[in-house]
Amino acid sequence: MSETRHNWTKEDILEIYNTPLMDLLYNAATIHRKHHDPNTVQVSTLLSIKTGGCPEDCGYCPQAARYHTDIEGNDLMSVQHVKAQALRAKSSGSSRICMGAAWRNVKDGEEFDQVLEMVRTINKLDMEVCCTLGMITENQAQRLAEAGLYAYNHNLDSSEEYYKEVISTRGYEDRLETIDNVRKTNVTVCSGGIIGMGENAEDRAGMLVALSTLNPQPESVPINALVAVEGTPLEDQKPVSIWDMIRMVATTRIVMPETQVRLSAGRTEMTREGQAMCFFAGANSIFAGDKLLTTPNPDVNADMEMFKMLGLNPQKPFIKKMQPETVEAQDSQYQALGEKPKWTRPEHKIERNEEAKQKAKVLK
């Protein structure tokens, strides 16, 4: 029976967040093991398909046109370049490609059509496809769904109260509206936030209230540690403590038990021991690759070494859209046929071809 609830209050979440650390870790790990394989971590690769020149004023973002950073802008990538990057990521263990474009909102036209073709192309590689393109309309969300998009990322960033201290060019309701537009399709929602921007524990709890009271809750919640970039308003913020990250991950796991919790930006400042504690506390997804859009990230080979050290395995694509018993039954059937299961969308279930069906009849 699902433990998911949608009536969390800020007081409830603060009580969890402030629990003595050993108790917090135990509770989070217990819930994590009820809903997830503790030795499996989903690996995503984040690709900036259009960098720089964004008209927004997000205080943490080096891609804002108004800030003087060293970010080198580029126009929209070609479909061929994106496919090559996706194949490279797949060979390194990634099961999801997340494409980010520095837009305030999606505009219909040639560039959006090109993004749709990127989605179709990566989908054919049997990889999950995620996009973060700014605000989108219901019609645009539907077109992305039809192209085969698996997830749409649109972070809330912080609590509604603190959000105004960081961003003025887009309202909190605008972000919630985009999430609602995505929810009208079969695309999953990826939405989380950033800690270390000067907010307090109440703001962190407020963000989790906003996310956990969505029904359904986001399938994926990234927890980012601010990477302070010179030239942005938040350039002088000190790195957030690893203990704050562990507490945030653990609290997120307890409040959203079935969600994939993503250990996202800021991992370059974390030791392997710190990351291991985050995995124990309930994080079961990371972004791999040397960059997260424009900020540094651990080398993928270093991540694979860490996985080996901790006994972790990369998650296969599309697993989380299936019931565990269905996955096990279908996998067993395919193994009996000497074949590998083929994961497909949008139904998110294994689809056997006609030849496999005939073999199954013979076996019976």
Which are the catalytic amino acids? 54, 58, 61, 98, 130, 190, 262
List Cα–Cα distances, 284 to 69, 198, 254, 339, in angstroms: 32, 26, 13, 28
Residues, the chain:
364
DSSP annotation string for 163-184: HHHH-SSS-HHHHHHHHHHHHT
Computed on alpha carbons and rounded to an integer, the radius of gyration of the chain in Å comes to: 20
DSSP state of 38: T
CB-CB contact of 93 with 305 (8 Å): no
Element containing residue 132 per DSSP (H, E): strand 128-132
Block residue for tokens 């294994």? 350
Distance CA 294, CA 355 (A): 46
